[in-house]
Amino acid sequence: MFADVVLPLPLSETFTYAVPASMQSALAIGCRVIVPFGKRKYYTAIVLKIHHDAPQSGVSLKDIHSLIDSVPLVNENQLKLWEWVSFYYLSPLGDVYKAAFPSKLRMESETMVSALVGHATDEKGLRPKEKQIIDLLNEHDLPVKISEIAVRLKIGNVLPTVYSLAEKGLVVIHESIQSKFAPKTETHIFLPKKLSPQSASHAIGKAKKQQLLYEQITGIFAASEADSFSRKEIMALTGASASVLNGLLQKNVLRQATVEIGRLGDGAARVTRAPHTLNEYQQQAFTEIIDCFNDRKPCLLHGVTSSGKTEIYIHLIKRLLEEGKQTLYLVPEIALTTQLTHRLQAVFGDKLAIYHSKINDQERAEIWKKMLSDHPYDIVIGVRSSLFLPFKRLGLIIVDEEHESSYKQTEPAPRYQARDTAVMLAHLTKAPILLGTATPSMESYFNAQTGKYGLVTLANRYEDISLPEIILENTKELRRKKKMKSLLSPALISYMDNALQEGGQVILFRNRRGFAPMVECQLCGWTPKCRRCDVSLTYHKSRNELVCHYCGTTYKMVTECPECHQPSIEPVGMGTEQVEEEVARLFPEVSIARMDADTTRGKNAYENILSDFQQKKTRILIGTQMLSKGLDFDDVSVVGIISADSLLNYPDFRSHERGFQLMMQASGRAGRKNKRGKVIIQSNDPEQPLYRYLTDNDYEGFFRQQAAERKLFNYPPYSRLIRIVIKDKDEQKAEVEARAFAGLLRPSLHERLLGPSKPAVAKIQLYHIREILLKLEIGLSPQKIRKLIKKSEQRMRANPEFKYMRVYYDVDPL
Ligand code: ADP
Ligand code: ZN
Ligand code: ZN
């Protein structure tokens, strides 16, 4: 008996091992095994296939060293998905395995191990090698790397022995030191048991805000069986300010205490409400979605911002839950805010798991194991990689904000598009899939137009709140008339002023962080560039530093030009920092916050900025596109887009699609509850047709215009792109390799192949880059083209000169 396995190495091949007789009855597809590979190295591999095809005579296969699992950790649909991702995105299967499977469940030589306290080598039944390892570990307080154990003890196959020790509960395996268990705590609010409503109301007295909050809180407790709620939850559910809540605590009508919570947040989330009743439009959309599912087609839900798409998702999930099915709810990383998770937790409580990129390896492994248990999570809300979790009875996939570019993984491999992979997962598992957005991607809308996807439209905002009024400000004209005395146009300033006077809030967008995108010598034009990348440095005034936004390297700000030795260096252009400075000058009395990659580094920074704004502690929020994603604020009456042209003027066929989506989403933040909001767009070129579609709220019109252009130039969705990227520290070498590779491919591809060319940023982190672009017609066989590419790569590598060529493929690049 033989088994094909995948190894956690960047290799495309699977490897065949002989299955020892003792293992044959227990071995199953999807189990972990330990196999020797290379010189004295052992790896955790996953079994993909079990068969009886003996190798050619003369080839001798190694044995599987040991079988770890009695029950598979990966199911067959998952393995099929791995294979598809590897095939379609031209990514080594080993890389897919590494990305998809929790590293904690996969020991490698870098894995850290430590002995559990209290176990000595006098343990009975230990083999000599096991004893040796325990002795070594006991000498150290800190965990030791498996590779180090191997070196110290001069034994090769440490991995299997460590596994068996772990199984016996004698050692702990850590991915990193900080993932050691530490209990996690949270501040909770309780209702004192013996307090009567009368004495509570007596204690609160005349404090109006406190009365109101107390009523809200008792309401929440009454609607649930929980005896406590986290302080965070209470604040989010009630929108209360800390001071009002603290007032109630001081009067002893509420109690606060620190409680220990489970690592996965079990028990922290409680059901507090039933789903809202859908209105007639939502109900209609719901019915159409179900019809579409019955047709076995992916369904695109095109619903304007605030139309209540999330409410519809909640109803769909609930329905599936009643059928005993699981839901995967995919969101772009940035949308994983407390807002959305609290909304879902309020309805589904601890049936919900949250899977984002900040959870550690330990939690990742725990969620995986829980999904395999008899009581898996019913709902997983997660980012891209949650696609790879072991669902047992997946019944629905929702891809929220399907147009978001962060669904595409760009680095490292596998460079997959999670939305499209979700469509594949739906196909494999026969689960229906819903893609939802206010601004569909060109690809998805095209698929809906051609009948590949079903289309459901929701044109009304919930409660028919009007869409905002969009006002275009011609900044070029204003400048000519000398009316632009600030970064903000006079009209924007006056709308802001009005809004603030009426107690409203303002959001300003600028898609560049830092103070100025670059600095320049006013005399000779010299600009500082990154030493590792071919890009100008961004000036960060608050830190007085120049920063490379590609590699993060920081440099001291220069004041004197190194070329002409004059103190003539000045910032050019503006970023969020500068907008903030300007707004502070214009509205000195108003509290302002800034949200961009620089201000959201800390663990809770992002959430704190949002909750301060939510609670109106800050009145003006300035930020990058981070701000445009699925956030709900009740009192934002003005949204300003400071420099709209910069969204459209970069050399990419998608720039208008992106700009349109961003501005439309940004507008969606205005006037959600009370009255009609205003969106002010500042542009030097307001004649662009895109702005007309935007002011008319005409997505269809925009789509048709874009589609015509894409068709003319043969861009997606009318073709498919594959970008071949070649890099080398030696520029000449990158150039030669790219030309040789293109030369091999061109005879089969002809004019479908463009390049090789130097990309706009031609050097990143010391590597020079060359690109070859393949523009492939839709009808072309994906199998054939991938075979051609792989064969050509092999032919390249057969040449000793190109053996170590660094190349990767970016399929459907963004
Ligand atoms: P979308 O996801 O389309 O942007 P949401 O689902 O966030 O829209 O809905 C916008 C707002 O309207 C939310 O505050 C939501 O709670 C409220 N809402 C939507 N539908 C309903 C409903 N059927 N009943 C009560 N409130 C609703
Ligand atoms: Zn100079
Ligand atoms: Zn750099």
Summarize the confidence of residues 318-327 as an average pLDDT.
95
Amino acid 156: pLDDT: 66
Whose CA is closest to atom 20 on ligand 1? Answer: 308
Residue nearest atom 26 of ligand 1, based on CA coordinates = 276
Both 511 and 584 in one domain: the answer is: yes
| Cα–ligand 3 centroid distance for 761 (angstroms) | 10
**Atom of ligand 1 at shortest range from CA of 304:** 3
Q: Looking at per-residue confidence, does 339 or 384 come out higher?
A: 384
Confidence of residue 325 (pLDDT cuts 50, 70, 90): very high
| Region 10-23 average pLDDT | 92
Ligand minimally distant from the alpha carbon of residue 459: 1
Q: Are residues 240 and 285 in the same domain?
A: no
Q: Does the pLDDT of residue 162 top 90, yes or no?
A: no
Under the banding of pLDDT at 50, 70 and 90, the label for residue 630 is low
pLDDT band at 704 (very low <50, low <70, confident <90, very high): very high
Ligand number nearest to the C-alpha of 550: 3
Q: Residue 154 sits in a domain of what CATH number?
A: 1.10.10.10
Q: Domain check: are 247 and 337 in the same one?
A: no
| pLDDT for residue 754 is more than 80 | yes
Q: What is the mean pLDDT of residues 330-348?
A: 80
Residue pair 32/105 in contact by the 8 Å Cβ criterion:
yes
CATH number, residue 380: 3.40.50.300
215, part of any domain: yes
Instruction: Using DSSP, state whether 342 is helix, strand or coil.
Output: helix
pLDDT mean over 138-158:
79
Distance 554 CA to ligand 2 centre (A): 21
pLDDT of residue 758 exceeding 60:
yes
Domain of 746, CATH number, reads 3.30.70.600
Is residue 523 a part of any domain in this protein? Answer: no
pLDDT of residue 99: 94
pLDDT at 222: 84
Amino acid at 465: I
Q: Which residues line ligand 1 (CB under 6 A)?
A: 276-279, 282, 303, 305-311, 462, 632
Q: Which ligand is nearest to the CA of 558?
A: 2
Residue 458 Cα: closest atom of ligand 1: 3
Cα(518) to centroid of ligand 2, in Å? 14
**Helix spans in 295-417 (H):** 309-322, 338-348, 361-372
pLDDT at residue 338 tops 90:
no
Whether residues 628 and 692 share a domain: the answer is: yes
Quick one: average pLDDT of 323-348? 85
Residue type for position 802: F
Q: Is the dihedral of CA 356, 357, 358, 364 positive or negative?
A: positive
Confidence (pLDDT) at 184: 57
Q: Which atom of ligand 1 is nearest to the CA of 303?
A: 3
Looking at residue 183, its pLDDT comes to: 45
Question: Given pLDDT bands bounded at 50, 70 and 90, which one contains residue 67?
Answer: confident
β-bridge pairing 326-330 and 636-641: unpaired
> Which of these ranges, 120-129, 217-226, 791-800, has the smallest mean pLDDT?
120-129
Query: Strands 433-437, 299-303: parallel, antiparallel or unpaired by DSSP?
Result: parallel
Is 268 a residue whose pLDDT tops 70? Answer: no
Q: Could you give the C-alpha distances from 250 to 206, 245, 615, 722, in angstroms and in order?
A: 15, 9, 21, 63
530 belongs to a structural domain: no
Say yes or no: 211 and 160 in one domain.
Answer: no
| Averaged pLDDT, 452-474 | 89
Does residue 365 share a domain with residue 320?
A: yes
From 34-38, 614-618, 777-781, the region with the lowest mean pLDDT: 34-38
Nearest ligand to the CA atom of 767:
3
pLDDT given for residue 267 in this prediction: 46
Distance 419 CA to ligand 1 centre (A): 23
Tell me the mean pLDDT in the region 462-490.
89
Rounded mean pLDDT, 108-113: 71
Same-domain pairing of 226 and 364: no
Q: Give 812 or 138, the one with higher predicted confidence.
A: 812
Residue 145 has pLDDT above 90, yes or no: no
- Whether the pLDDT of residue 458 is over 90: the answer is yes
Domain shared by 226 and 304, yes or no: no
Q: Are residues 453 and 324 in the same domain?
A: yes
Q: Cα(540) to centroid of ligand 3, in Å? A: 15
Mean pLDDT of all residues in 94-116: 83
Query: For residue 141, how many other CB atoms are within 10 A of its CB?
Result: 7
Q: How much distance in Å is there from the Cα of 442 to the middle of ligand 1?
A: 25
**The pLDDT value given to residue 666:** 84
Q: Is residue 182 predicted with pLDDT exceeding 50?
A: no
- The answer to whether residue 453 scores a pLDDT higher than 90 is yes
Render pLDDT for 512-570 as a digit per residue (tens, 0 to 9): 888 888 899 888 888 899 998 888 899 998 889 999 988 888 999 988 999 999 998 98
Pocket test for ligand 1, best of 278, 300, 302, 306 (most atoms within 8 A of CB): 306
Q: Which residues surround ligand 2, an ion (CB under 5 A)?
A: 521, 523-524, 526, 561, 563-564
User: Tens digit of pLDDT for each residue in 183-238?
Assistant: 456 788 988 877 888 888 898 988 899 999 999 998 888 887 777 888 988 888 88
Going by pLDDT thresholds of 50, 70 and 90, the confidence category of residue 264 is: very low
For residue 691, being part of any structural domain is answered with yes
Ligand 1 atom 9: the closest Cα is on which residue? Answer: 308
> Rounded distance, CA 656 to CA 27, Å?
53
Residues 6+ apart with CB under 8 A from 393: 324, 325, 326
Residue type, 787: K
Indicate whether 706 belongs to any domain: no
Residues 327, 448, single domain; the answer is yes
Claim to verify: residue 387 and residue 488 sit in the same structural domain:
no
Q: Are 560 and 574 in contact (CB under 8 A)?
A: no
Residue 119 has pLDDT above 60, yes or no: no
pTM: 0.82
Which of residues 75, 95, 122 is at a domain's end?
75
> What pLDDT, in 10s, does the model give residues 652-693?
889 999 999 989 988 888 875 657 889 999 999 999 899 999
Residue 481: is its pLDDT beyond 90? yes
Q: Whose CA is nearest to atom 24 of ligand 1?
A: 276
DSSP assignment of 568-622: -EEEES--HHHHHHHHHHH-TTS-EEEESTTTS-STTHHHHHHHHHHTTS-SEEE
- Of the pLDDT bands very low, low, confident and very high (cuts 50, 70, 90), residue 54 is confident
Please check whether residues 457 and 317 belong to one and the same domain.
yes
Which pLDDT tens digit goes with each residue over 237-263? 888 888 999 999 999 899 888 775 544
Residue at which a domain ends, from 178, 208, 233: 178
Instruction: Report the alpha-carbon distance of residue 512 to residue 572 in Å, rounded.
Output: 12
- The pLDDT of residue 233 is 86
The closest ligand to the CA of 561 turns out to be 2
Instruction: Tell me, yes or no, whether 92 lies in a domain.
Output: no
Protein residue closest via CA to atom 17 of ligand 1: 308
Q: What is the pLDDT of residue 40?
A: 66
In a domain, 498, yes or no: yes
pLDDT band at 363 (very low <50, low <70, confident <90, very high): confident
Name the residue range of residue 212's domain.
185-260
pLDDT at 42: 79
How do residues 662-673 score in pLDDT, each as one tens digit? 899 888 888 756
Average pLDDT for 337-366 = 84
State the average pLDDT for the chain.
88
Structural domains of the chain, count: 6
Cα 506 to Cα 495: distance, rounded to the nearest angstrom: 9
pLDDT at 180: 33
Instruction: Give the whole-number percent of the chain exceeding pLDDT 70.
Output: 94
Q: What is the DSSP letter of 127?
A: -
Domain-ending residue, one of 50, 75, 100 = 75
Mutate to test the pocket of ligand 1, among 278, 329, 340, 462 (most ligand atoms within 8 A of CB): 462
Residue 601 lies in a domain: yes
